[in-house]
Chain A
Amino acid sequence: MDGIDHRPRPPIAAIRLHKQLEAVWGTPPGWARLSAVNHNIVGRRFILTAFVFFGIGGVLAMLIRAQLATPRSAFLGPEVYNQIFTMHGTVMMFLFAIPMFEGFAIYLLPKLLGARDMAFPRLGAYGYWCYLFGGSILVIALAIGLAPDGGWFMYTPLTSKTYSPGINADIWLIGVTFVEISAISAAIEIIATILKLRAPGMSIDKMPLLAWYLLVTAFMMLVGFPPLILGSVLLELERAFGLPFFDPTRGGDALLWQHLFWLFGHPEVYIIFLPAAGMVSTMLPTFARREIIGYGWIVVSVVALAFLSFGLWVHHMFTVGIPHLALAFFSSASTAVAVPTAVQIFAWLGTLAAGRPQLKLPMLYLLGFFSVFVIGGLTGVMLAIVPFNWQAHDTHFVVAHLHYVLVGGFVFPILAATYYWLPHLTGRVPRHSLGAPAFWLILIGFNLTFLVMHWTGLLGMPRRIASYGAETGWEWPNLLSSIGGFIMAIGFALFTVDVLMHWRHGKRCNRNPWGAGTLEWATATPPPSYNFASLPLVASRLPFAEQPDLGARLAAGAGYLGFVRDQALETLGVDAISGRIEQIVRLPNRSFLPFVSAVATGVFFLAVLFKLYLVAVGALVGVIATLLLWAPSSGGRCDRGPLPVGNGKTAVLHSEAASPPALWALWLALAADATAFASLGFGLLFLWVVAPNWPPPELLPWSPWGTALTIAGFAVALVASYLATTRRILARANRREAALVFAGLGQIGGLVGCAVIISAAPDPTRHAYAAVTLVMLLYAGLHAAVGLVFSGFGLWRSRAGFISPARSLDLRLGAIWAGFTAAIAVTVVLTVFGLPLLMRTTS
């Protein structure tokens, strides 16, 4: 009746199926581990590495507290202290919080959704290596005393060449950009997985709440990180080549950095909080022993939070001199954000009140989360009020607030989540013995450290000072804070010991030890590399409620795809809304290529760091080449048509499907791209309106030939790439290949056009106007170059037999890229030639 075969099967069949699946999905031990792309392995690596970085960040925090414990302390000099607090903030935000959530997402999502892996396993592996290499660059720099020291928000002009001459600031810019690439690729992968790779029947309203939270968070990353990446690139261009974006003497403005940074920086806080809140929404109903209250309300409030949190970046800049009315906009947005947060808190409390809560160990940490996070939220509303903000700005009150939010809103939920999902990884249940004392030490230590810090802040102690005098009246609160910090550290140490002991000595348990309702507990614990021997049909939000024996039945192969076909890794793709079966997604197998690509990427960044630009160009070519080498193993060389997926259903392969995950990925990448471009536009507008020394001394001269060539080139590329995907041309190899050649020629034309315009442009080192103009033209040119790669790739795929009217994905991707590139190019041409016209008429 539910389309699933209910006949009992002999266990021998289950074991045989397991062996067959493991043979294709598994990763062998030894050096071959480096080739792992399986989400179980990649997710665990992310989590473990993030915990290591948390430890490093924690040690740095202890050093900070040791330094501040007594007045006039000579423990660390100001130079070292500056590096330490900068690295503490940087490590915690970029190397702990974001990757930790990525790790949980990568590990859990396919299981929550009833899939066998993430949509782009190699991308996940690549992202992990980028994270590891980028993070290592930062940590090594710290070890050799070259760490960035301008604070984690790197304010210009402090971090401009004049005031930070060494390579410290470059290390931050490059290390963080490296890590952000990994974050954006994770975001794309998370969205595509949630929207496409779900179990059949899991319509969008039956998704576990955690999937909703992660979906929204990933979208936030897609539009939140590009402004920071753009800002970092601009600052690096200023530092390396003297293009003056942030230098007020040459038409730049130091405040532009702050805008770009906080445009990312505030949403970042929610990017950290929302996944944790999603975990709370997953764990809490299990311990309350009832379904969560207000599923729909929570979804709406998460969406609201995502948007509102972008509209309040200026609350970090209340004291920089912005018109009052603008302050009022940002202040009201900042207070508004409390409302959707409160909706979720009431949903959680309501669920607890209506259920029969059990105080298991993870629940204890959840209670810690509630109490700490709510206080942080309240001080946040205080800080959103402009007059109070002017008083407390950059004092330890702010440091206290941010830790209540971050530790309350992220660390406590992560500790709870670790205990909650630990049985999934180890097949053992945690006990109260050490976990509970660890909790109390952390909670008491935390409050002692940071509650007191509110008081220190109100007494006027600024943040980021290495020492203070004995007559200030700050010595007692600081000593108390430091003692609290060390109590907390003991708590964390105990937590670590407990987790390690659990690994070895925990009590063995069956699957689903907490009695949860979500699908991740339907796998064996620890899970096999393919998660599910066959995929479930989902009919409700809590699949275990109707089918307590679900796990055993899936293991016996009673669901979909309970077999191995063509030695391929297969999982199901569904319609994003209804959860109807749409395609069979074939996933790539283990491969060293992601590792190699990441190494090439690392060489690129290091070369930029040491200003070896020829090496950098070579490495970039290497990155592109190795990324292209990923391709041959995806797609098919002949049309297969619909294939059986079990239980009497059929579906086509993703290479023949109308909307395969890769198509979604391209659209998402373009969304991130467009955001970076829009941030550049914002930067130009901002400088024009606000920066001193405008209008510029020299404007871009009108270039009819350059413009004509640019526009014509991009138009040809667009039309040819599009034609290559139309039925009549696609069907014949020679026609479509001719179209692709034209597309490539068009991109070359556009590239040359951009170069012609640039050749006449004013000197970019003299004024920010010329610098932004140059970057805009380069932006268009870069897109043309990638377009060229796309058409060459299409040609290669066509020659190699991957293209047919049914298998047109590669060409469709190229056509979408060409369209986007043309749109960018038109916007660039209008802007770079339109702005001079405007400036002539207004001045």
Chain B
Amino acid sequence: MKPRLALLLIPAGFVIWASAFTLLYAALSLGCAFGWQNDAIGGVPPLRLTLLAIWLVHLAALAGLLIYCVRLRSAANARTSRFLRRAAIGSAAAAIAATVWTGVVILVATPCL
């Protein structure tokens, strides 16, 4: 693993979280402004489908990141790269928990109220 890359892996999980959060908020605002909650596709308003899609895509990306971090191999400087790998795994896992926690309300709440 390229060491510089490994340092970027520590914030990577939360960058994905931030992207999920921003897009969810933006899509919700746009959807409510332009009436995406009024139609229905198979009984579900397109706004909720959009939000779910954003949420799930980001969760998938996070899962991918976590797997990538777990599989990383240590480079020459074993102690440092072990630390970086562990920290990256830890923050990817924390980012998954945060993304689940912030997004889970999509399943229950009515948008645009």
A residues sitting closer than 8 Å to B (CB atoms) are: 203-205, 296-297, 299-301, 303-304, 306-308, 310-311, 323-326, 328-329, 332-333, 336, 340, 575-578, 685-686, 689-690, 842
Residues in A neighbouring B109, C-beta threshold 8 A: 324-325, 328
B25 within 8 A of A: yes
CB distance from B25 to the nearest CB of A (A): 6
B65 within 8 A of A: no
Q: Is the CB of B110 within 8 A of A689?
A: no
Q: Is the CB of A304 within 8 A of B25?
A: no
B residues sitting closer than 8 Å to A (CB atoms) are: 3-4, 6-7, 10-11, 14-15, 17-18, 21, 24-26, 28-30, 32-34, 77, 79-80, 83-84, 86-87, 90-91, 94-95, 98, 101-106, 109-113
CB distance from A581 to the nearest CB of B (A): 14
A575–B3 CA distance with the chains assembled, in angstroms? 10
Q: Is the CB of B3 within 8 A of A577?
A: yes
Q: Is the CB of A332 within 8 A of B11?
A: no
Given A300-B90, A329-B21: A203 touches B80 (CB 8 Å cut-off)? yes
Query: Considering only CB atoms, which chain B residue lies closest to A216 in the complex?
Result: B11
Given A307-B11, A324-B110, A578-B3: A689 touches B30 (CB 8 Å cut-off)? yes
Contacts A304-B98, A690-B33 supplied; 6 other A-B pairs, CB < 8 Å: A307-B14, A307-B18, A311-B17, A323-B28, A332-B105, A577-B3
Residues in B neighbouring A686, C-beta threshold 8 A: 29
A311–B91 CA distance with the chains assembled, in angstroms? 16
A310–B102 CA distance with the chains assembled, in angstroms? 13
Q: Is the CB of B29 within 8 A of A336?
A: no
Q: Is the CB of A300 within 8 A of B91?
A: yes
CB distance from B62 to the nearest CB of A (A): 13
Residues in A neighbouring B101, C-beta threshold 8 A: 332, 336
CB distance from A195 to the nearest CB of B (A): 9
Q: DSSP majority for the B interface? A: helix
Residues in A neighbouring B14, C-beta threshold 8 A: 303-304, 306-308
| A203, A300, A310, A578 — most chain B CB neighbours (10 Å) | A300
Q: Is the CB of B80 within 8 A of A326?
A: no
Query: Considering only CB atoms, which chain A residue lies closest to B82 in the complex?
Result: A205
Residues in B neighbouring A307, C-beta threshold 8 A: 11, 14-15, 17-18, 95
Residues in B neighbouring A325, C-beta threshold 8 A: 28, 105-106, 109-113
Q: Is the CB of A205 within 8 A of B91?
A: no
Query: Considering only CB atoms, which chain B residue lies closest to A331 in the complex?
Result: B105
Residues in B neighbouring A326, C-beta threshold 8 A: 25, 28-29
Residues in B neighbouring A204, C-beta threshold 8 A: 7, 80, 83-84
Q: Is the CB of B32 within 8 A of A323?
A: yes
CB distance from B89 to the nearest CB of A (A): 9
Q: Is the CB of B87 within 8 A of A690?
A: no
Q: Is the CB of A205 within 8 A of B105?
A: no
Given A205-B83, A340-B94: A323 touches B33 (CB 8 Å cut-off)? no
Residues in B neighbouring A306, C-beta threshold 8 A: 14
Query: Considering only CB atoms, which chain A residue lies closest to B47 in the complex?
Result: A325
Q: Which of B34, B83, B102, B113 contacts A323 (CB 8 A)?
A: B113
Given A296-B90, A303-B91: A842 touches B77 (CB 8 Å cut-off)? no
Q: Is the CB of A296 within 8 A of B28?
A: no
CB distance from B12 to the nearest CB of A (A): 10
Q: Is the CB of A203 within 8 A of B94?
A: no
Q: Is the CB of A576 within 8 A of B7?
A: yes
A656–B111 CA distance with the chains assembled, in angstroms? 57
Query: Considering only CB atoms, which chain B residue lies closest to A335 in the complex?
Result: B101
Residues in A neighbouring B102, C-beta threshold 8 A: 311, 329, 332-333, 336
Pairs A–B under 8 Å by Cβ, sample size 5: A203-B80, A204-B84, A325-B109, A325-B112, A336-B101
Query: Considering only CB atoms, which chain B residue lies closest to A579 in the complex?
Result: B80
Query: Considering only CB atoms, which chain A residue lies closest to B24 in the complex?
Result: A329
Query: Considering only CB atoms, which chain A residue lies closest to B3 in the complex?
Result: A577
A615–B83 CA distance with the chains assembled, in angstroms? 54
Q: Is the CB of A578 within 8 A of B77?
A: yes
Residues in B neighbouring A303, C-beta threshold 8 A: 10-11, 14, 91
CB distance from A713 to the nearest CB of B (A): 32
Q: Is the CB of B33 within 8 A of A296?
A: no
CB distance from B39 to the nearest CB of A (A): 16
Residues in B neighbouring A308, C-beta threshold 8 A: 14, 98
Query: Considering only CB atoms, which chain A residue lies closest to B32 in the complex?
Result: A323
Q: Is the CB of A328 within 8 A of B105?
A: yes
CB distance from A427 to the nearest CB of B (A): 36
Residues in A neighbouring B26, C-beta threshold 8 A: 685
CB distance from B110 to the nearest CB of A (A): 7
A773–B45 CA distance with the chains assembled, in angstroms? 34
A323–B98 CA distance with the chains assembled, in angstroms? 21
CB distance from A580 to the nearest CB of B (A): 9
Q: Is the CB of B77 within 8 A of A304?
A: no
Residues in A neighbouring B6, C-beta threshold 8 A: 577
A824–B83 CA distance with the chains assembled, in angstroms? 37
Q: Is the CB of A304 within 8 A of B91?
A: yes
Residues in B neighbouring A329, C-beta threshold 8 A: 21, 24-25, 28, 102-103, 105
CB distance from B92 to the nearest CB of A (A): 10
A311–B95 CA distance with the chains assembled, in angstroms? 13
Residues in A neighbouring B105, C-beta threshold 8 A: 325, 328-329, 332
CB distance from B103 to the nearest CB of A (A): 8
| A325, A328, A575, A685 — most chain B CB neighbours (10 Å) | A325
Given A296-B90, A311-B102, A325-B106: A333 touches B83 (CB 8 Å cut-off)? no
Top 7 closest A-B pairs, CB basis? Answer: A205-B83, A307-B14, A328-B105, A577-B3, A300-B90, A203-B80, A689-B33
A842–B30 CA distance with the chains assembled, in angstroms? 12
A803–B14 CA distance with the chains assembled, in angstroms? 41
Given A307-B14, A336-B102: A203 touches B79 (CB 8 Å cut-off)? yes
Residues in B neighbouring A689, C-beta threshold 8 A: 29-30, 33
CB distance from B4 to the nearest CB of A (A): 6
Residues in A neighbouring B29, C-beta threshold 8 A: 323, 326, 686, 689-690
A209–B6 CA distance with the chains assembled, in angstroms? 19
Given A296-B90, A323-B32, A333-B102: A577 touches B7 (CB 8 Å cut-off)? yes
A842–B35 CA distance with the chains assembled, in angstroms? 12
Residues in A neighbouring B3, C-beta threshold 8 A: 575, 577-578
A333–B103 CA distance with the chains assembled, in angstroms? 10
Residues in A neighbouring B17, C-beta threshold 8 A: 307, 311
